[in-house]
């Protein structure tokens, strides 16, 4: 593979695009959760097993993607998993039955989880090239993509466009963006690590495990908003599909705005304080939203929850990439693996509680897990390296000129 020089600015644009399309495709699945539930006549528990299938696929991908990135760099991994992600979404509503639907979601999770780690490894390399915190802005584009996907879902529903057309159109558009953006990714030597390529995957431990547990708590909370917010507004508050999709959109756009400002906050407060404050905001906002249970307060509350959760995952991924003696891709993959275990367990637990009590009761888990992240922050962040800068390890330096 060619090592054509790429400027940090071009690489940042490319990585922004990858995060955007990943968020858009994830949101496209998210806003059609009610569509899938209705089309296949699923209970909350049955829907939870679909989400679990996606989580199992993601975990399998995460166990291998670190080695793939180490051997080949991020570009071929992005290509292969991006294609799989787009195809699985395009055929989502054509599954002939529940077992086939489980298989489609498994493939989607496999590709999405691997794509996620690869694009974050690319983001760490670009952040290193800039020699200052920019990770939150990448995740801002993920949230912006989520908002775009939610808005498209709301508009297509209002216009009476068939859901399969929305899914297929998003998949084709996503493939085009991935194909174009990959042209300006960093050369392989910026992200691959030949000495790590032959090492087998092992269970995370120590600080990687701790950061991973925090990531799991954050991913359950964030994932619950993606997977259940639309259903909560439709089934608990009796909102229309258009309004319910906007609840998801309010969460996503608030996350995007907060992430674009997150690097500024992180540079001034430090990663530890920024993370701790963010988690407390998410916990308080989710609690008040569920207690009040009104249409307009829920839209506002979901937005504030988005502000709180915005910088949890970016800060944790950046911290994982700075753990001494661990390559960035391996650190991110380890944290992601633990995080996805939580992500896998979250939907069945929330679905079971919702089935036994109500979805409102189940979503209090989001607030509880956010509190746990806040309480664990100082212990975890005290054990990682310095913020991104010239002293960062594992990646080549690049000029911004």
Q: Both tokens of residue 231?
A: 């259903």
The domain at 8-381 falls in which architecture? Up-down Bundle (1.20)
pTM above 0.85, yes or no: no
Structure confidence at residue 170 (pLDDT): 94
Structure confidence at residue 399 (pLDDT): 36
pLDDT tens per residue, range 19-66: 999 999 988 988 888 889 889 988 878 887 888 888 788 888 877 787
Domain boundaries, the chain: 8-381
pLDDT tens per residue, range 80-105: 999 999 999 999 999 999 999 999 99
Mean pLDDT of all residues in the chain?
A: 83
Mean pLDDT of 236-264: 82
Structure confidence at residue 1 (pLDDT): 42
> Does residue 17 have a pLDDT over 80?
yes
């Amino acid at each position: 593979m060619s090592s054509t020089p790429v400027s940090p600015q071009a690489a940042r644009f490319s990585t922004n695009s990858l995060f955007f399309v990943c968020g858009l495709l994830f949101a496209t699945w998210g806003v059609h959760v009610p569509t899938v539930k209705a089309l296949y006549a699923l209970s909350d528990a049955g829907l939870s097993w679909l989400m679990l299938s996606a989580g199992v696929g993601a975990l399998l991908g995460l166990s291998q993607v670190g080695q793939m990135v180490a051997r080949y760099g991020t570009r071929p991994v992005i290509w292969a998993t991006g294609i799989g992600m787009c195809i699985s979404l395009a055929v989502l509503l054509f599954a002939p039955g529940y077992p086939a639907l489980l298989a489609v979601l498994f493939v989607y999770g496999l590709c999405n989880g691997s794509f996620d780690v690869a694009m974050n490894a690319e983001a760490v390399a670009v952040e290193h090239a800039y020699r200052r915190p920019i990770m939150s802005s990448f995740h801002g584009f993920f949230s912006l993509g989520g908002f775009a996907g939610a808005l498209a879902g709301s508009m297509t529903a209002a216009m009476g466009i068939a859901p399969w057309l929305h899914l297929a159109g998003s998949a084709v558009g996503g493939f085009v963006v991935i194909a174009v953006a990959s042209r300006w990714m960093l050369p392989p030597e910026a992200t691959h690590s030949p000495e790590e390529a032959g090492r087998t995957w092992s269970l995370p431990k120590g600080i990687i495990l701790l950061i991973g547990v925090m990531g799991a708590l954050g991913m359950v909370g964030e994932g619950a908003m993606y997977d259940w917010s639309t259903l909560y507004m439709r089934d608990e508050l009796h909102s229309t599909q258009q309004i319910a999709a906007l609840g998801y959109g309010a969460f996503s756009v608030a996350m995007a705005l907060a992430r674009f400002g997150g690097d500024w906050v992180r540079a001034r407060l430090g990663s530890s304080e920024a993370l701790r404050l963010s988690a407390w905001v998410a916990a308080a906002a989710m609690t008040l939203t569920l207690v009040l249970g009104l249409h307009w307060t829920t839209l506002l509350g979901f937005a504030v929850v988005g502000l709180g959760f915005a910088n949890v995952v970016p800060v944790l991924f950046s911290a994982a990439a700075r753990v001494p003696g661990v390559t960035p891709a391996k650190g991110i993959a380890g944290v992601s693996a633990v995080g996805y275990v939580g992500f896998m367990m979250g939907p069945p637990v929330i679905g079971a509680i919702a089935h036994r009590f109500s979805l409102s009761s189940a979503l209090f888990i989001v607030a509880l897990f956010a509190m746990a992240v806040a309480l664990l922050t100082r212990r975890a962040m005290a054990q990682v390296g310095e913020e991104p800068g010239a002293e960062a390890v594992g990646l080549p330096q690049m000029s911004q000129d």
